[in-house]
Chain A
Amino acid sequence: MAVDSGHRDGGCDWDGRWNHVKKFLERPGPFTHPDFEPSTESLQFLLETCKILVIGAGGLGCELLKNLALSGFRLIHVVDMDTIDPSNLNRQFLFRPNDVGRPKADVAADFINSRVPGCKVVPHFKKIQDCDESFYRRKCVLLNKHLIISLLSYEDGVLDPSSIIPLIDGGTEGFKGNARVILPGMTACIDCTLELYPPQINFPMCTIASMPRLPEHCIEYARILQWPKEKPFGGTLDGDNPEHIQWVFERSKERAAEFNITGVTYRLTQGVVKRIIPAVASTNAVIAAACATEVFKIATSAYIPLNNYMVFNDVDGLYTYTFEAERKENCSACSQVPQDLQFPPSAKLQEVLEYLTENASLQMKSPAITTTLEGKNKTLYLQSVKSIEERTRPNLCKTLKELGLSDGQELAVADITTPQTVLFKLNFTA
């Protein structure tokens, strides 16, 4: 029985604990980052100073927390608005059957803190959007859902490098995954490469309503048309309620029988209603490992970080492909280049609002539109503050000309869907 007295600093390190990590921090090497200096202080930096924010405590989040904790990171915050579901248990290994219903962030933090002595994971059971700006002032930010948060500050159009918080983003789907390093304002952001993410499949209404051919069409019929009409259990359809799914399953089977369609199963029904993406432990392990390696490199300058996108697929053997995703010149999220807005001067502001919400590449939720008129900042329309909404509502019925806007006018649009204000330039058409 070996007994080792603890040190006053961390209070809980034992002999040899960080040997595997130290070799990369205290020894010079031929492939290290040009800025790298071997030192015993780097480990102390990881253990005592470096703060990480992990967004999501699910498949990738659990793996990330473990990876970070065993790499020396101790000051970790984790945000997740979800509670634990039985279907999480095949891969979200910080959770047990007894934990079902409890907040993921809380359970994950508890588990890591009790398993890895000295680690101080702080949980936040809330939506990431509900956290205020000061919350994000951390050294590295980790994403594992496709969210971008940027707190870049620009002075006269020039980016302040100290305001850059590196983002490491990972995503998985079945046996495929990707990991990327984003230095906002410098490297490609998520919006720059939005085309890499295929859009969700939605079946045409006429197929669902009158010409079903696949079992999925029958399920969508029950979900989209029959449920709202019959309201079998009162309110909205809850994909997590087995009774609701059972109802949809039975209606789908009836519909399928009408058209001689085979293949409606309970599992398929649930999959369609909840838009389930298949998931396994292994892919999450791989991608979270790659992400954590990058966090380590960036935090310690041990090696040059991934530049900047890696894809992984192990359906047939194991395949990885690493490339530098390029910034899109006129990216609406990160380029600072005003987006073109084409409207005749007789168009009403309402039409501009509709465009901002309905356009496929914008899909804003409730955009706030401001501009500069006669040297002064003017709010044209803002929905989220009641008093301002009432005051600016009449503007919606006015034409752009009536509002005093001219050709080439810049409009600044803020919305929950974009990290920064998006600049638009009015281009008057005939």
Chain B
Amino acid sequence: MASTKASKEQKYDRQLRLWGDHGQETLENAHVCLINATATGTEILKNLVLPGIGAFTIVDGHTVTGEDAGNNFHFLPTALLSFFLIVLFVQNRAQAATEHLQELNSDVSGNFVEEGPDKLLDNDSEFFHRFTIVIGVQLPESTCLRLGSVLWSASVPFLVCKTYGLIGYMRLVVQEHTVIESHPDNALEDLRLDQPYAEFQNHIKSYDLDSMEKKDHSHTPWIIIVAKHLEKWLSEHNGQPPKNYKEKEAFRQLIREGIRKNENGVPEDEENFEEAIKNVNTALNPTKIPSAVEDLFNSEQCKNITAQSPCFWVMLRAVKEFVHNEGNGSLPVRGTIPDMIADSQKFINLQNVYREKAMQDAAAVSKHVESLLQSVGKVWPESIPEKDIKLFCKNASFLRVVRCRSLAEEYSVDTVNKDEITSCMDSPDSEMVFYLMLRAVDRFYQQHSRYPGVYNYQVEEDISKLKACVNSLLQEYSLNVNIKDDYIHEFCRYGAAEPHTVSAFLGGSAAQEAIKIISHQFVPFNNTFIYNAMSQTSATLRL
């Protein structure tokens, strides 16, 4: 019983306000693969099914154990319980989970494969190529590295997740992930007061503050007020804008003197002038291309546009061309202004000046897009619609590209990020210690075919074995760090437990990162995230 368009709008209303209809569309076209339906895995998938991904496939060769049914919300067969007898079908985990997860949202189609990833790859090396993203949970190291290599070659994003005792771990493996809509929390306005474009200058000319009626004077937008007074200042200071605190104070004073006075010489209550004074600092921010964007301009993908270049790079190159031509060194005008005290007409007129300039700049960028595409034998606007170019220009200051190192690079002795590891471990209780312990535990599993401390009697005796793994790990990578015995003891104590609350924390975290990858909105982490439920702290490491 799939939903109607109207019922979907209702159901997804609260999230549509975050990523819009176009974001939702990318989710509905996505096919997510989950490997291993453990508590962590099903919690991640639940948080993807609820917002409406198109489809999921669970890959898992294991059967449900009593332990699994104890910490996982998505297994228990509800109809089969009687008060005195519990009947647990020995069901495959993938199948058991698919039924319950599917039931959460009728818009989503769920599939399962009762086979482990290693066997799948043996039989079909391209099995995983079809997915938008692969999420691997509780994977042994060898399987993880093998998948990492396969998915890297196929350019399929890979998200590795693990809950180990009270520690949560995520590793994002994606070669190049572009973000146009990063939605920054605190974006600076793009007002161009330091380099007013012609149309803006003309608009300011239409104002004569001195001769205006009182009502108009009090309802003139602060942007105009600052612009007018800046003109005055520049003419009196050799074309130099206010730079230091003293000069900015003087500039504020200049604006304050512009406030109308009544017959008794007392300044009137002009809130718009107060706004102007308050906003002097941000207004005088020099218009600059953010260094992150400059770096993108200088990257290989931008310099070498080919027929295979993704749209992002074609548009970026077009913007770069714009900057060096029509833009006179600046990005296309964003076209938005903040609300401010003003009467409707003045505000709308001013807003339109910015909007029209933005449209003009976007049109110029489109021209560059067209010629770039032509130069590589492609057609415009079919290849890159105009609305995409407009969105790109509006977000030009906020573009982000995330490039994660491969697992091979992380694990190779030649390219391991020694600096990051040793500098973090200067504080021996930093979250980095948990990364090293997880690596040591993987090593233990490789050697002993089990995790340390799973059974009570093993906890004590495994401490020395785990310590040996820690030492061999540090030695192999020539890491001159010290890991406190307490952590080795704690990781034996964990006994590879997967407590539900830690799984749930990772479930939310990983799901949102997956949504970022799918939608290309908001910025994913790069590249390792550690969560410590003991202290409720976390860290992002680049490994």
Q: Which chain A residues have a beta carbon within 8 Å of chain B's beta carbons?
A: 1-6, 11-12, 14-21, 23-24, 26-31, 63, 66-67, 70-71, 86-87, 89-91, 93, 97, 114-117, 174-175, 179, 211-214, 259-261, 267, 270-271, 276-290, 292-294, 296, 303, 306, 310, 313-318, 320, 322
Contact = CB atoms under 8 A, between A and B. Distances in A.
Given A175-B522, A317-B540, 17 more contacts: A1-B87, A1-B90, A24-B497, A28-B493, A66-B500, A115-B76, A213-B339, A213-B344, A213-B347, A261-B344, A271-B17, A276-B17, A280-B18, A281-B47, A282-B508, A285-B511, A318-B513
B500 A70 contact: yes
Nearest to B355: A262
Nearest to B493: A29
Interface in B1-39: 3, 7, 10-18, 39
B420 to A, nearest CB: 16
B15 A289 contact: no
Interface in B523-538: 523-526, 529, 531, 533-538
B536 A30 contact: no
Contacts of A175: 18, 512, 522
Interface stretch (B62-70, B140-148, B407-415): B62-70
Contacts of B508: 281-287, 289
A16 B497 CA distance: 12
Interface hub of B104, B340, B347, B499 (most chain A Cβ within 10 A): B499
Given A24-B497, A31-B490, A90 B66 contact: no
Nearest to A287: B508
Nearest to B74: A115
Contacts of A117: 76, 81, 86
Contacts of A306: 535-536
B51 interface: yes
A179 B166 CA distance: 17
Interface string B484-496: 0010011001110
A293 B505 contact: yes
Interface stretch (B178-186, B252-260, B274-282, B370-378): B178-186
Q: Which 5 A-B pairs have the closest CB atoms?
A: A285-B508, A16-B66, A286-B508, A289-B504, A289-B505
Contacts of A66: 73, 500, 504
A16 B13 contact: no
Contact of A4 (B66, B456, B511): B66
Contacts of B16: 267
5 contacts: A3-B87, A213-B342, A260-B344, A290-B536, A293-B502
Contacts of B242: none
Nearest to B88: A2
Interface string B94-106: 0000000000101
B185 A316 contact: yes
A114 B78 contact: yes
Contact of B537 (A1, A29, A320): A320
B162 interface: no
Contacts of B83: 6, 11-12
A212 to B, nearest CB: 6
B51 A90 contact: yes
B85 interface: yes
B183 to A, nearest CB: 6
Contact of B88 (A4, A5, A115, A294): A4
Contacts of A90: 11-15, 50-52
Given A66-B73, A211-B219, A281-B508, A86 B10 contact: yes
B14 A276 contact: yes
Nearest to B68: A16
A31 B534 contact: yes
Given A70-B70, A289-B501, A278 B493 contact: no
B245 interface: no
B10 A278 contact: no
Nearest to A216: B339
Contacts of B503: 289
A146 B89 CA distance: 43
B46 interface: yes
Contact of A29 (B90, B489, B522): B489
B515 interface: yes
A282 B536 contact: no
A389 B427 CA distance: 64
Given A285-B43, A289-B505, A316-B184, A16 B65 contact: yes
Interface string B277-301: 0000000000000000000000000
Nearest to B13: A87
Contact of B536 (A15, A288, A310): A310
A107 B231 CA distance: 66
Contacts of A259: 344-345, 348
Contacts of B493: 23, 27-29
Contacts of B507: 285, 289
Nearest to A7: B84
Nearest to B106: A97
B416 interface: no
